[in-house]
Amino acid sequence: MKKSEMTEAILAAKTRKKLAWEQIAEKTGLSPVFTTSACLGMNSMPKEHADKLCAALGLPGEVSEALQAFPHKAWDKTIPTDPVIYRFYEALNVYGETMKLLIGEKFGDGIMSAIDFSMTIDKQPDPKGDRVVITMNGKFLPYKVF
């Protein structure tokens, strides 16, 4: 089973069972962000958790096997058109250099890992309109001098 077929099967079962990503993640024992990313094909999921997800959604073993397979993390290099994704693209274009300079001042020359990494997405009520709170937490990796 291809990752794209896996994702279609998971999304169909999610809709059929009327479950939110947080509910599915609870059943796997993993975070909602990681669970969703793995279901969309961008991360591999350990067998124990993949099997739990498939049991919760009533999906066959081939979906579990596809969840466990290593992903090919390629994406379209064009500017995204989905409004939610585009706003992140826009924010990184506006604030990316600022983030790089401030990380450099605080940590030195290096990068934030997207492998030793976690992320949470929360809702913060606000009288002027609810706020989206995204916290990214990645290990700092200094560049090696040789």
CATH of the domain at 135: 3.30.1160.10
Distance CA 42, CA 70 (A): 9
Looking at the fold, whether 89 and 48 belong to one and the same domain comes out as no
Model confidence band, residue 5 (pLDDT cutoffs 50, 70, 90) = very high
Residue 9 has pLDDT above 80, yes or no: yes
Residue 86 has pLDDT above 80, yes or no: yes
pLDDT of residue 101: 86
Catalytic member of 5, 62, 90, 97 = 90
Is residue 140 situated within a structural domain? yes
Catalytic member of 4, 8, 62, 87 = 87
pLDDT of residue 76: 72
pLDDT of residue 94: 84
- Tell the residue number behind the tokens 């498939």, with chain if given: 54
Is residue 73 situated within a structural domain? no
> Chain-centre distance of CA 131, in angstroms?
19
90 counts as catalytic? yes
113 counts as catalytic? yes
DSSP classification of residue 43: S
DSSP classification of residue 108: -
- Total domains in the fold of the chain: 3
87 counts as catalytic? yes
Looking at the fold, whether 64 and 45 belong to one and the same domain comes out as yes
CB distance 107 to 142 below 8 Å: yes
CB distance 76 to 85 below 8 Å: no
Domain range for 116 is 109-146
Looking at the fold, whether 39 and 59 belong to one and the same domain comes out as yes
Choice among 23-27, 101-105, 137-141 with the minimum mean pLDDT? 101-105
Distance CA 14, CA 43 (A): 18
Model confidence band, residue 77 (pLDDT cutoffs 50, 70, 90) = confident
Is residue 74 situated within a structural domain? no
Query: Considering the chain, what is the average pLDDT of its residues?
Result: 93
Looking at the fold, whether 48 and 93 belong to one and the same domain comes out as no
pTM, 2 dp:
0.81
Among 22, 15, 51, which Cα is nearest to 122's?
Answer: 22
Catalytic member of 4, 62, 113, 118 = 113
Looking at the fold, whether 140 and 121 belong to one and the same domain comes out as yes
Looking at the fold, whether 97 and 115 belong to one and the same domain comes out as no
Over range 49-67, report the average pLDDT: 98
